Structure 1
Amino acid sequence: MFKEMDIGSLDIGDFLAIGAIFAATDSVCTLQVLHQDETPLLYSLVFGEGVVNDATSIVLFNAIQSFDLSDINFRIALKSIGKFFYLFSASTMLGVFVGLASAYIIKTLYFGRHSTDREFALMMLMAYLSYILAELFYLSGILTVFFCGIVMSHYTWHNVTESSRVTTKHTFATLSFVAETFIFLYVGMDALDISTWRVNDRPRTSLMVSSILLALVMAGRAAFVFPLSYLANLSNKSSSENISFREQIIIWWAGLMRGAVSMALAYKKFSRLGQTELRKNAVMITSTITIVLFSTVVFGIMTKPLIRVLLPHPKITTSMLSEASTPKSSTMPFLGSADNSFDDNLGAAHRPSSIRELLATPTHTVHRYWRKFDNAFMRPVFGGRGFVPFVPGSPTERSEHNLLHKESSESDVCNF
């Protein structure tokens, strides 16, 4: 079909790269509308797919780029698949290793215990170390940093003092907001790059390619979401855990938006030193820009009305909406532990009830066994919530001591 449009010669490697480019989704718009208290399962599915999807597409893209696919055969295809799984598993293990190392170092070394600057710097440098090691060993830096961040949020973050936690949380939230804003500005400026559109002397061709690619994205998304949701419902023992058809539509819709990752991969594949001299390269880049802008603006605007129609919910106050959309409400539930009454009492007012019940009483066997293993073997060594070593005079210990003293006093009064 692309040959009939006269956009240049595209080989099998180009088509596979295009598939990896448009496999990266951007589900931020849907997550801003969904409420994790009302639909915890749906929110977890969309959130979980979104955080892993970009890293997986980058690993797949790098695996495709590492082979000459002009003359593909079964052996090359098998090596490409093996390369993908090697990059994915090795990057994951490296990120977990660096995250555990950071937790153990901060838990055992006390030279920076009373210094917020040193604790914050050590956490940031250890995360950066995971990226440096990934690049040194030719692995996926983004995947390594992602899993390193998961481990650090589960163990390392709880080993520092309260002031360091607050500083870390707000600093990275600010950096994330600035980076996201810069990315959107960069995408908008690329859309105004006259040189790229000048090489593509036929805007109609770019529009046709964009329409075809967008239709393929929607069809491929449907072929992925609905069959897997059907199989997941068959494997569920309880009907309350089934994914309804309306929720399947929302999951399908959440993965239609494309963002900065697709733009970056398109430029990496179809540009040479920042210049798009070949016509096919210009067409693919302008088509990617068109899809990113169209899906972000049009699909993003339609997301909230669509979810309101598919999932009608009772009226929610403005304070509840702001509470549900804050970064803390979407991240703190994943850091909880059922065995720590102190932190559960402090965070009970901030966690949605359904998420809190899900964390307190794991329903799935894998989750329950992981809790037991984590509390018995991992947290005593690497720290974490409820396993932080006692350091006299630290802000965290003073707050815990005051709270426990207050609770004991209230208990004595009640007994009296």
Structure 2
Amino acid sequence: MPSHGDAEALDRYSALVPTLLLMVCVVVSYVIQRYNVRAVQPSGASLIVGVAFGVVARAKTARGADVAAFQFSPQAFFYGLLPIIIYSAGLNLKRRDFFADFFTIALFAFVGTVISSFVFGLSTFVLVEIGVIARKHLGSNPLLECLLYGTLISSTDPVATLSVFADVSAPPLLYNLVFGESVLNDAVAVVLFRTLAEFYEQEFTVSTFWTVIGQFILVSIGSLLIGIAIALGTALLLKTLGLAEAPPNVAASYNGTAYTFALLLISGYFSYVLAENVGMSGIMSIFFTGIGNAHYSYHNVGEEAQIAVFKSFEAAAFLSETFVFAYLGMQVATFDHLWDFGILLTGIPLAMAARAVNIFPLSRLANTLRETPIPRNVQVMHAACGLRGAVAYALAVNMPSTRPGEQGSRAVETGTLVICLVSTLVLGGATLPLMKHLGLHDPSDREGMVSSAMSSTAHDGLGFINPSPRARAVRARALADGHPIWYISIAFRVKARLFEWWEDLENNFMIPTFGGAPAHGAWSPVNTSDAGGSADAHETTPANGEEYRDVELTPIGDDDEKDLENLRAAGPSSDDA
């Protein structure tokens, strides 16, 4: 047993190593971004640096207790690092783009995660039954343990992929789908994992499955409501305190920006811990608190705070993400692994197959509900973006166990770590070549036309009103592909009515009560001299430089038939090949 002096020295050493590790990773990340290094992404570089530090730490510490000081702590991750990452994602979310594709994103995040989890889990259980994976490495309930394994593997973390997207001008639709799905997917995977874990010592039957799904839906709705409620309460508090302008006769040391930062930080963390304490999902709650604070609270603070506070959260999230990837790399050397080659060799293929079963059928379903269908090459790229990260590994560490004296499943934990490393370093590094192969790296080519169309629809507020002329052409392409006119017309009408209802609620109640910009403020200001002040003629300028005017919704008719005839005369597109 180490002496008191040895324990103090170990504490100092275990604090020094992570600090130095983070400093090195930040510098390496800067060099990669500064000199546009394409061979490795910052997240992958942090993993490699973490592995190197882990090897050194292992060599410097002879005792097992010393090595344990550097092992992954799920408590520190779930209550220290993850909240700030998710909260910043909500605060800095491009809400207009996100909600323009929200129904599609939710389809992938909720339904897709459940599909992927059960496909992976049941396939793994079959491998256990036929002897490919050693049953002795699992607990007394191998079916549920395999389902838990499938759930945690379904948690995606495409940081490396998204950084490539930003560098090569990927189609906005692709970025929106991957980013939006990943944020919600983490929350969904955690909720589903914890729900399944409650039934670990029970026999898993069909009735158990429906009980799990019911609890999953209940927790998701409850978490969303908690997040929204905390955001609205924070907005009302900031508005009441009057932080937007410095009041007269304040103390010389008054700092409104500091108070704003403190209240926004506390509101986010309060949302997280409150949801966790009442059995809901803190991840989902804090994400929607971030969205709500950005939508309402942002307009109740001063201009200086608007810039400083939100950039501070972005920087804090960057540090947290960097540290998470680096610490994940350290586990390669510091964790006492249990190698099951059945798990190791089948993990990546099963993860890719489960994601394909998720993405392609749901994309086909989503295309029946969208005015602009998801192109095939975007679907392929989306399926390839299912990288695994720290959330998956943290859940693996929290795996329940029936084995005496052991917490979690060492074989599953080792397999998850290998999948995280391979997907981030290998699959993440293959993002750019795959984008080039699919024709998604150059916005000037034909797929760039799809990119521009998607970018244009992103300027339609929440996506509930008529699209731009370019998007109408894509809609006509959908007609040419066989979507029924009556169905598309109904979808347009429903979206238009939803938008009108939301705009009325925002302008007449939400904004006067909680603060914020007018509901149509997401677009450029209305040119009243041209539009006569009409609210149904918002002038906008899309990202591709084309100008168009949003007009009152009309049924699909002669114009659409003309578009359809023009497309038919032009022949099939490259997407149809």
AA aligned to 2:391 is V
Task: Indicate whether 1:2 and 2:133 are aligned.
Answer: no
Write the mapping of 1:203-222 to structure 2, written as runs, cut at 5 A: 203=339, 206-222=340-356
Query: Which residue identity lines up with residue 242 of structure 1 in the other structure?
Result: P
Change (3 A) 1:375 1:215: same
Q: Which residue of 1 aligns with 2:388?
A: 258
The structure 1 residue matched to 2:357, chosen from 187, 200, 223, is 223
Q: Percent identity?
A: 34
Q: How far, CA to CA, are the matches of 1:233 and 1:146 in structure 2?
A: 27
- How far off its partner does 1:163 sit? 1.0
Cα deviation for residue 113 of structure 1 reads 4.5
Q: Aligned to 1:306, which of 426, 430, 434?
A: 434
1:137 alignment partner in structure 2: 278
| Residue identity matched to 2:369 | S
SS at 2:209's partner residue? helix
Rounded Cα–Cα distance in structure 1 between residues aligned with 2:196 and 2:442: 48
Aligned partner of residue 296 in structure 2, secondary structure:
helix
- Residue 254 of structure 1 aligns to a residue in which SS? coil
Match of 2:425 in 1: 297
* Contact 2:192–2:216 (CA under 8 A) maintained in structure 1: yes
Alignment correspondent of 2:415? 287
CA separation of 1:232 and 1:135: change in aligned 2, threshold 3 A:
closer
Q: Is the 8 A contact 1:30 1:254 kept in 2?
A: yes
Q: Distance in 2 between matches of 1:315 and 1:146?
A: 31
How far apart, in 2, do the equivalents of 1:6 and 1:368 lie? 58
CA distance in 2, matches of 1:176, 1:281: 30
Q: How far did residue 373 of structure 1 move? A: 2.8
* Residue 209 (structure 2) pairs with residue 81 (structure 1): no
Q: How many residues align?
A: 339
Give the Cα–Cα distance (whole angstroms) in 2 for the partners of residues 72 and 156 of structure 1.
45
Once the two structures are TM-superposed, the CA of residue 377 in structure 1 deviates from its matched residue by 2.4
Q: Is the counterpart of residue 268 in structure 1 residue 370 in structure 2?
A: no
Counterpart Cα distance in 2 of 1:187 and 1:111: 40
CA displacement, residues 246-274 of structure 1 (integer Å, 9 cap, x when unaligned): 1110110112x1000000000010679xx
Q: Would the alpha carbon gap of residues 312 and 231 (structure 1) be closer, same or farther in structure 2, given more than 3 Å must change?
A: closer
CA-CA distance at 1:84 after TM superposition: 1.1
Change (3 A) 1:102 1:86: same
Hey, what's the Cα distance between the residues in 2 that align with 1:41 and 1:189?
35
For 1:2, give the aligned amino acid: V
Match of 1:47 in 2: 179
How far apart, in 2, do the equivalents of 1:372 and 1:37 lie? 36
Task: Work out which of the residue numbers 244, 260, 269 in structure 1 matches 2:375.
Answer: 244
Match of residue 91 from structure 1: 223
Partner SS for 2:307: helix
Contact 1:98 1:126 in 2 (8 A): yes
* Aligned match of 1:358: 460
What does the per-residue CA deviation read over 1:358-408, in whole Å, with 9 as the maximum and x for residues that have no partner?
Answer: 339744434454334323321121111259xxxxxxxxxxxxxxxxxxxxx
Q: Which moved more, 1:223-232 or 1:90-99?
A: 223-232
CA distance 1:276–1:32, shift in 2 (3 Å): farther
Which one of 11, 20, 23 corresponds to residue 154 of structure 2? 23
Q: What letter is aligned with 2:409?
A: N
RMSD (CA atoms): 2.8
State whether residues 276 and 282 of structure 1, in contact with CA within 8 Å, keep that contact through their aligned partners in structure 2. Answer: no
Alignment of 1:47-196 (within 5 A): 47-110=179-242, 113-114=245-246, 115-193=256-334, 196=336
Q: Where does the alignment leave 5 or more consecutive residues of structure 1 unmatched?
A: 317-351, 388-416
Please report how far the alpha carbon of residue 235 of structure 1 lies from its aligned counterpart in structure 2 after TM superposition: 3.0
Distance 1:357 1:82, change over 3 A: closer
Q: Give the counterpart letter for 1:20 in structure 2.
A: T
Match of 1:233 in 2: 367
Q: Tell me how far 1:159 sits from its aligned partner.
A: 1.2
- Using a 3 Å threshold, how does the CA distance of structure 1 residues 360 and 45 change in structure 2: closer, same or farther? closer
Contact 2:172 2:455 in 1 (8 A): no
* Structure 1 letter corresponding to 2:382: I
Q: Distance in 1 between matches of 2:267 and 2:432?
A: 39
- Asked whether the equivalents of residues 130 and 145 of structure 1 are also in contact (C-alpha less than 8 Å), the reply is yes
Opposite residue 432 of structure 2, the aligned amino acid is K
Structure 2 unaligned residues grouped into runs of 5+: 1-126, 247-255, 445-453, 467-494, 520-577
Deviation readout 1:308-349 (Å, 9 max, x if unpaired): 221245489xxxxxxxxxxxxxxxxxxxxxxxxxxxxxxxxx
Q: Deviations over 1:140-173 (max 9, x none)?
A: 1111111111111111112110111112122111
Give yes or no for contact 2:507–2:518 (8 Å, CA) kept in 1: no
